[in-house]
A and B are shown apart, each in its own frame.
Chain A
């Protein structure tokens, strides 16, 4: 048996083992944002996703007449992990999201999936090292622009020099215009701290989107590049802009990578504030609500650091949404859904925006480039620009310490 066949067999084994253990109690459904948004068919919810791939394998009709259907089902999941938390709390402890990812890997290995839009994303990742198909050489353009107006002390790693901290920007904050301001804010905050930091000269995607879409080989390839560059740089610490990169570094990279202290930027800046190295002093007289990114909160249990930063800003009143922290409603951008057009009925960001508007606040703060994009699009699509805006926590913090 070839290695690939053995691997597929292992993946199928995982799904079959857990598929039987799922007792169809359906407790997961009311935790699932996708099901909440639709209140429709059961295939649009965690146990339905799991049973679909389980039966496709159990009855051996994967890849026959159900190919499109199973692709749509498996790639509808936002991988937010709410169902996993619910199942662990009150039922059989099924790792639904891991199994969805197993299912996606099987589809990719058997050349059945993903769908066209996701295939294009994988192609971009392979060719350009980012999911948007943007030229690799333009990845640091935002930094060069910033440098024209600011004296910056970053080091380009690993070639130029060594630094204590690697700031890993990630693809979205590197290329998307709105999100470049987040990267800029974080760099300027590091400058205020006089931090010894560097940025990868040839940064590419951390690989997380490839893994989420089921392309394990591509994940390995991309992650190895980042892994090697980071280690070669001699850094002691990695600070990420995106919770998705953070999660990948913390949970998907080899154990040896964990010798580096990986932090999301909210953790990093919170620690600096606590040490007295950074002091938010300028007032922002606004009511702000915080949207928990799933990969920061539910995946990695970081709920307090972002809130603590917001609360340290003078004048700010932090107001929680109805669903917050572990119960937070997903913005809908995870699991590869950022890259495809979804039906209006499943635009979870619109539901989340309704919750934010209900708080009466003027700002939705977040700490994830994808959440930022999703919420901003929702505000625009529903003509709510006069009532509320989205800000990244780094932007708010910079405003307050400037």
Chain B
């Protein structure tokens, strides 16, 4: 059958399910849906066949049944903001874009809410806040990140897992469409998560390879109050010791503890019209149901860091000042890119508590001995309270695609070695695609083969997000 005829048949089938207006073969839509947040070009020879916008789980079920019968790869995208390539279709197939799946139901009597896969993080946050609830999910891509994607990734993002937990800790159940097209519900309508086998765990943090999450049921969390603080240090080691103290002296773990090295802080502060800080900075946000309690927790935290002889460590009560410094943190990546006029390569390294000082020092020298990267400045920032950092590099914009791929491989190889050394793993962006080699390095070939067998049990024809488990893309 000719390619055109096959494409026509596929589009015709999809149009019959969702309506022709919700299917496209626009070359430009296919290009855009094959790009993700890393600066690589689309592959002209491997663009999707079509992009489809389903409305319901039943639509997705029909599409997957058809794709199984026809052995067509299917890629599911919420917003494409995942940073290790998992949302990047790498061969011709059908892209399911979940933007129309926008159901959102707050069931206060039941103590939970249910979010459709296409609801955006920020939308959910706003809708919950209107009713006095807090969304325990704060993603860097909050404006656009979808609930389905966040559930599949189980990212804690910038939040500190040890304090507030991961989304999975609040998720009671999901509705998922299996790669073979069956729709299943997992978990509970109660507020207590199942003991023993809980199939929810296959899909929450399942990297999207075992099924399509179409609905997430999450416990309602009462709104919290915040208290803020900033500390500045001339050296890295005392900061690492301060973080260790926070845990060892059993200080209530804040919701955020963000770190900017002196270079990054200088760029961020000056972009916000502030004087550059005299050293590396960390920002704290403590929380509690009551403001007074949040303030008390902040004071405890500040006291702990003061033991490490900071240049300063103080609570912040001037919200205008806080807004500026927090924006300097939240806009780190854009400020780096615009100030240094280049493209970004960023990775994620995570330490353990016992070796945290050593790990932080090594993170600061992340690029030492790595070809090409060694010649670039390592802009270090991250979520230090969660023991994680993002070594980041600004690459000249005129560097060719091939070279960028090469650098990306070097970066992820170094990241894998780093995290394997400390016995940790990424906590924000998922475990496969560009991290497959890490998975094998860290958990062994046996574990990886087991993952492949699990995938095959769910997806015998390997049609759902193929390539994620296979690795680098």
Contacts and interface: CB of A to CB of B under 8 A. Distances in A.
Interface of A: 17, 20-21, 23-27, 29-31, 39-43, 47-48, 51-52, 55-56, 58-59, 61, 66, 69-70, 73, 86-93
A17 B397 contact: yes
Nearest to A59: B44
B79 to A, nearest CB: 5
A40 B143 contact: no
A340 to B, nearest CB: 19
Given A25-B37, A25-B81, A92-B337, A43 B141 contact: no
B31 interface: yes
Given A43-B29, A59-B44, A20 B39 contact: yes
Contact of B22 (A24, A40, A70): A40
A48 B397 contact: no
A24 B88 CA distance: 12
B408 interface: no
A59 B47 CA distance: 13
Contacts of A40: 22, 53, 99-100
Interface string B48-92: 000101000000000000000000000000011100000000000
A20 B97 CA distance: 24
B141 A26 contact: yes
A20 B342 CA distance: 9
Contact of A39 (B27, B39, B102, B344): B102
B107 to A, nearest CB: 24
B343 A43 contact: no
B41 interface: yes
B141 to A, nearest CB: 6
A247 to B, nearest CB: 24
Given A41-B51, A41-B97, A43-B28, A51 B35 contact: yes
Contacts of B338: 92-93
B331 interface: yes
Nearest to A40: B53
Most interface-central of A26, A42, A87 (chain B CB within 10 A): A42
B144 A29 contact: yes
19 contacts: A17-B397, A21-B337, A23-B337, A23-B344, A24-B35, A26-B144, A29-B143, A29-B144, A39-B100, A40-B22, A41-B29, A42-B32, A48-B29, A51-B32, A66-B28, A90-B330, A90-B331, A91-B333, A91-B334
B244 interface: no
B29 A42 contact: yes
B37 A69 contact: no
Interface in B86-142: 97, 99-100, 102, 118, 120, 122, 141
A25 B118 CA distance: 17
Most interface-central of A21, A23, A48, A55 (chain B CB within 10 A): A23
Interface in B393-419: 397
Given A26-B141, A41-B97, 10 more contacts: A23-B337, A24-B36, A24-B38, A26-B80, A41-B29, A42-B32, A43-B26, A47-B32, A69-B27, A73-B28
B42 interface: yes
A25 B333 CA distance: 11
Contact of A30 (B24, B80, B120, B333): B120
B334 A92 contact: yes
Contacts of A23: 37-39, 337, 343-344
Interface of B: 22, 24, 26-29, 31-33, 35-39, 41-42, 44, 51, 53, 79-81, 97, 99-100, 102, 118, 120, 122, 141, 143-144, 327, 330-331, 333-334, 337-338, 343-344, 397
A41 B21 CA distance: 10
Nearest to B118: A39
B20 to A, nearest CB: 13
Contacts of A92: 334, 337-338
A69 B28 contact: yes
B32 A70 contact: no
Contacts of B327: 89
Nearest to A55: B31
B143 A90 contact: yes
A23 B102 CA distance: 26
Contacts of B32: 24, 42-43, 47-48, 51-52
B24 to A, nearest CB: 6
A42 B33 contact: yes
A89 B332 CA distance: 10
Contacts of A48: 28-29, 32
Contacts of A39: 99-100, 102, 118
Nearest to B38: A23
B219 to A, nearest CB: 26
A311 B37 CA distance: 45
A58 B22 contact: no
Nearest to A66: B27
Contacts of B35: 24, 51
A27 B26 CA distance: 22
A20 B343 contact: yes
Nearest to A52: B28
Contacts of A93: 334, 337-338
A51 B337 contact: no
> Which 4 interchain pairs have the tightest Cβ spacing?
A52-B28, A42-B32, A93-B338, A24-B35
Contacts of B42: 55
A345 B146 CA distance: 22
Most interface-central of B28, B39, B41, B102 (chain A CB within 10 A): B28
B413 to A, nearest CB: 22
Contacts of A61: 27
Contacts of B39: 20, 23
Most interface-central of B29, B99, B343 (chain A CB within 10 A): B29
A30 B99 contact: no
A42 to B, nearest CB: 4
A25 B141 contact: yes
